[in-house]
Chain A
C-alpha cells in the first residue's frame, strides 16, 4: 500500500483520485510511525520549494524519510525536496540526490513557468516500463533539476536539457505530474507501485 506524506504542501486531490482510478490503495503518513504501515511512499508537493521544505521539517519526517529502504517517489516539488538545494528561497533540501534545483533562465527565450506537455527521453528504468520513449508528460514548474547523467533516468528539454526524472537507490523523483499526464502518467504510477524493495 502507498503512503502519501501529509505535510500540508498543496492539494493532493488529483493524486489520490489517480490512485483510486488505478485501484491502488493508499493512506496518509502524518508521523514516523505511519511510515511502517506502507510499502511505497509518495512525497507530493506544489508551490514554493523553500516553504515546502520548512513544512516537511516541522513534521519531523526528514530523518526517517532519508533512512527509508522502501521505494520513495517525489512528485514535482516533492522531487525537488530530495535534491541538495533549491534556488527557490535559497533553501537546503533533503540532499538525498546530490543535484541542484535551479530557476529557468528567461534569457534563453523561454516562457516561465514551463507549462504543458513535453516529451521525455527515458533510460528504460523500471519506473518507465511500458512507456514509449518520447512520450509526453504534463509539466508545471518554474524551477528545474539540473541534468546529471549519474542520477538522470529521464530527460526533457526546455531551453536546455534538464532532469524530468531522477533515481538514487530506492529514491525516485519526477518533475512532471503523473496524475495529470494521461495514460503514460497512470502507467508510471502503476509501475512505481510495482517496484520491489
Chain B
C-alpha cells in the first residue's frame, strides 16, 4: 500500500539553511547537506527546500547546494523558489533535484506549468499554492500571503492539474504558524476534486494534527517545518503514532 509521506521543509538562502534548527548532533545547522542527511536518517520520506535567495545572480549557489544534497541524500527532494522558466527548472533537475515547485511564476504565467510538464513530465512539476480565506472565499495569495490574486484556490488547482501539474503543495496561510492544525475542510475538498497527489501544509503543531489530516482528508503527504526543526515532533515517533491509527507509513 502506498504510504502517506512526511515531509520536512527547509528554507535556504545563498546555499545555507536558515531559521533556527537545533538538532543536538548537528555540527553545522546551516549546512543543508548535513541537515538533509539527518532527516533521511530519522525517516523523512522526502524533503522540500524552499530557496529564498533574493537575487537571481546568486542562483549559482543554489545549484551547487542542490548538487551537494543530491550526492548525499538517498531519498527524493523538491526544490522551489525563484523558478521562472524551463531553463531554471532544467538546471535544478540536472543537478539532481527530483521535483521542482513553482508558485508565483505559474500564477503570472500559467503556460509555464504546461511547458515544464511537456519538457520533463508531470511528475517533476509541483504546484505550490498559498491560500487565505477572504470574505468566505479561499483565494490564492503570493509573496507569503501578502498579495491577493483574483484566483479562487480550488479553481486554480483544478486548472493547474489540467495544465500538467503533477502534485499540489497547498499551504493555508490562515493556519501557517498557528500550530492549531491543518485546514482539513479545504484540504478534503481539494483532494477530492483532483486526481494528482496533494501535500498538506500549514498549521502542524502536534502529532494529532497529522493523524487528523490523514484520517479526515484524502491528502497524500503532510509538510511541516518548525515542529521538525525544533525536534518538537520526532519523525520516528510521529510515524509510530500514525501507524497506530492504521495510517500507512514507511517505518
Contacts and interface: CB of A to CB of B under 8 A. Distances in A.
B72 A118 contact: no
B197 A111 contact: yes
Contact of B5 (A117, A119, A179, A181): A117
Contacts of A47: 120-121
Interface residues of A, number: 36
Contacts of B167: 115
Interface string B186-206: 000000000111000000000
Interface stretch (B9-17, B92-100, B104-112): B92-100
A140 B97 CA distance: 14
Contact of A21 (B1, B45, B74, B220): B74
Contacts, number: 88
B96 A17 contact: yes
B121 A138 contact: no
B77 to A, nearest CB: 9
Interface string B38-52: 001000011000000
A33 B119 CA distance: 31
Contacts of A18: 74
Contacts of B123: 113, 115, 140-142
Interface stretch (A36-44, A95-103, A182-190): A182-190
B71 A17 contact: yes
B234 interface: no
A91 to B, nearest CB: 15
Contacts of B5: 116-117
A196 interface: no
Interface string B76-88: 1000000000000
A153 B95 CA distance: 32
A114 to B, nearest CB: 7
A78 to B, nearest CB: 14
A136 interface: yes
Contacts of A14: 70, 96, 98
A106 interface: yes
B147 interface: no
A11 interface: yes
Contacts of B94: 11, 13
B220 A115 contact: yes
Interface string A116-130: 111100000000000
Contact of B1 (A17, A106, A118, A185): A118
B75 interface: yes
B134 interface: no
Contact of A136 (B3, B95, B122, B195): B3
A116 B220 contact: yes
Given A115-B197, A117-B250, A180 B74 contact: yes
A28 interface: no
A84 interface: no
A180 B69 CA distance: 12
A48 B46 CA distance: 24
Query: 5 closest Cβ contacts across the A-B interface?
Result: A13-B96, A117-B3, A117-B250, A136-B250, A17-B71
Interface of A: 10-11, 13-14, 17-18, 20-21, 46-48, 106, 111-119, 136, 138, 140-142, 157-158, 177, 179-183, 185-186
